[in-house]
Amino acid sequence: MAKVVKVMVIDDSALIRQMLSNIINAEPDMEVVATAGDPYIARDKIKKFNPDVLTLDVEMPRMDGLAFLRNVMRLRPMPVIMISALTQKGADTTLQALEYGALDFVCKPQLDISQTFETYGEEIVSKLRMAAQTQVKPLIKPKPSSAMTYTGMPVPPKYSADAIISNTPARKVKFLKTTDKIIAIGASTGGTEAIKLLLENMPAHAPGIVISQHIPATFSTSFAKRMNQLSPMTVYEAEDGKAILPGHVYIAPGNFHLLVERDGARYVCRLNEGTPVNRHRPSVDVLFRSVAQNVGPNSVGVILTGMGDDGAKGMREMHEVGAFTIAQDEHTSVVWGMPGEAVKKGGVDKIMPLHEIPRHLMKLFDHQSTTPH
């Protein structure tokens, strides 16, 4: 019999604790072994019930969620999923929580919680399953068709990138000669910290970078601002029609696909509010396909840590048109889902530890003035 994942729910709202418990206990492979209304109660119950995974509210009484998380990661490292309100303050705090070692987060609605929270059930249980399988290490500082769930809630149909951008065979794609280069990056679970490490180590003169990170709308604005403070490059939340320039980074806004298009002699960002692809918007497959078809061998694709397979097909398409492609290795990935699937599909030229990727990217462009191979 498979091991049952023991979950502990920490939230100051009794209603949220009850709803989370109902969602989790409906799964045959999960059980809520304890709940706590504040970190002091949680501290004692962690010792008593020895949970496999915690869900942790961002804003807590008596001790804030960040302080508690830091203590957990210092004294008893374990998988933590943050439960965050969709507010600016909640977004900023949650990004800090990911730096301190939380694996991922789920956004909770501010209005009509009892009516809408159950629609988050599929996301919650999938992230808890992922977390339970993840080895968490002590952190001194931030690390360099439709189906039904067990709860009976419908899972949205899984659409491919064809829903947004048609797939043109590689042999039919024609590229203009240009000295402009573009780096396309895709990530999901664990990606905010991976992107942070990468951008901190990219020089100000690096080629233009476009990023699709699975992230809600409120969080993408805070994330872009934070990366701009930390990176030698200039980081924006992408805007429709904005020119992609060297030394600049463009992060897909939450709830919009980011595509790269050719506009005369330059590349520009295009935003698309169409169908979620691989159940994500933004989708990495959409970004990578647009880069494959418009930038081709003048691009490099990088796929970082993430759950699922979004980006694997798009990376293979980039590889087929002559782009150089890199996957983060399993050892440095929080979850080796997306990079692993890209490797399986045969679209990866090089598998690398995260901390080596920035230097290798610049080596590619410094050594090759036309095609980055």
Q: Are residues 261 and 318 in the same domain?
A: yes
Of 83-87, 161-165, 299-303, 333-337, where does the model show the most confidence?
299-303
Q: Are residues 79 and 167 in the same domain?
A: no
Cβ proximity of 31 and 7 under 8 Å: yes
State residue 298's pLDDT score: 93
Domain boundary among 77, 112, 132: 132
Q: Is residue 189 in a domain?
A: yes
State residue 59's pLDDT score: 79
pTM recorded for the entire structure: 0.82
Which distant-in-sequence residues (6+ apart) come within 8 Å of 296 by Cβ? 173, 175, 321, 322, 323
Q: Is residue 169 in a domain?
A: yes
Q: For 252, which DSSP code?
A: P
Whether 38 is catalytic: no
Q: Which CATH number does the domain housing residue 240 bear?
A: 3.40.50.180
Q: Is residue 152 in a domain?
A: no
Residue 110 amino acid letter:
Q
Where in the sequence is the domain holding 213, given as residue range(s)? 161-367
pLDDT of residue 169 exceeding 90, the answer is: no
Count Cβ atoms below 10 Å from residue 60 Cβ, excluding itself: 21
| Nearest Cα to Cα of residue 166 among 285, 295, 302 | 285
Q: Among 20-24, 158-162, 317-321, 346-350, which stretch is predicted with the lowest mean pLDDT?
A: 158-162
Report which of residues 140 and 261 the model is more confident about. 261
For 124-145, the pLDDT digits (tens) are 999 999 999 888 765 444 333 3
Q: Are residues 340 and 212 in the same domain?
A: yes
Whether 205 is catalytic: no
For 195-205, the pLDDT digits (tens) are 999 999 999 99
pLDDT of residue 175 exceeding 90, the answer is: no
State residue 369's pLDDT score: 46
Q: Is 139 exposed, middle or buried (0-12, 13-18, 19+ CB in 10 A)?
A: middle
For 281-311, the pLDDT digits (tens) are 999 999 999 999 999 999 999 999 998 999 9
- Confidence category of residue 170, pLDDT binned at 50, 70, 90: low
Q: Is residue 146 in a domain?
A: no
Q: Are residues 316 and 353 in the same domain?
A: yes
Q: Are residues 205 and 341 in the same domain?
A: yes
Q: Is residue 138 in a domain?
A: no
Q: Among 110-114, 146-150, 163-167, 217-221, which stretch is predicted with the lowest mean pLDDT?
A: 146-150
Q: Are residues 172 and 127 in the same domain?
A: no
Report the largest interatomic distance among the alpha carbons of the chain, rounded to a whole angstrom: 65
Rounded Cα distance, 366 and 109, in Å = 47
Q: Are residues 126 and 166 in the same domain?
A: no
| Nearest Cα to Cα of residue 188 among 343, 342, 338 | 338
State residue 178's pLDDT score: 63
Q: Are residues 18 and 116 in the same domain?
A: yes
Residue spans of alpha helices (H) in 255-333: 284-294, 312-320
Q: How far, in Å, are 77, 132, 240, 246, 291 from residue 209 at the CA level?
A: 34, 33, 15, 8, 11
Domain boundary among 81, 116, 132: 132
Helix axes 88-100, 217-230, angle to 10 degrees: 60
DSSP string, 12-81: S-HHHHHHHHHHHHTSTTEEEEEEESSHHHHHHHHHHH--SEEEEESS-SSS-HHHHHHHHHHHS---EE
State residue 264's pLDDT score: 84
Q: For 308, which DSSP code?
A: S
Q: Indicate the average pLDDT of the chain.
A: 87
Evaluate the CA torsion angle 121, 126, 132, 136 in order and state its sign: negative
Per the omega criterion (within 30 degrees of 0), is the bond before 138 cis? no
For 39-76, the pLDDT digits (tens) are 999 999 999 999 999 999 987 777 888 889 999 999 89
Q: Is residue 148 in a domain?
A: no
Domain boundary among 81, 113, 132: 132
Please give the share of the chain, as a percent, with pLDDT higher than 90.
65
- Residues constituting the chain: 373
Q: Is residue 23 in a domain?
A: yes
Q: Which CATH number does the domain housing residue 86 bear?
A: 3.40.50.2300
For the chain, the C-alpha Rg in angstroms (whole number) is 21
Q: Are residues 128 and 165 in the same domain?
A: no
Q: For the chain, what is the domain count?
A: 2
Rounded Cα distance, 37 and 137, in Å = 26
Q: Is residue 155 in a domain?
A: no
Whether 214 is catalytic: yes
State residue 140's pLDDT score: 41
Report which of residues 158 and 229 the model is more confident about. 229
Q: Are residues 168 and 128 in the same domain?
A: no
Catalytic residue, chosen from 188, 212, 220, 299, is 188
Q: Are residues 326 and 195 in the same domain?
A: yes
State residue 153's pLDDT score: 37
Catalytic residue, chosen from 52, 212, 214, 299, is 214
DSSP string, 14-33: HHHHHHHHHHHHTSTTEEEE
State residue 156's pLDDT score: 58
Count Cβ atoms below 10 Å from residue 42 Cβ, excluding itself: 24
Rounded Cα distance, 143 and 191, in Å = 11
Catalytic residue, chosen from 310, 319, 329, 333, is 310
State residue 142's pLDDT score: 39
Q: Are residues 344 and 241 in the same domain?
A: yes
State residue 354's pLDDT score: 97
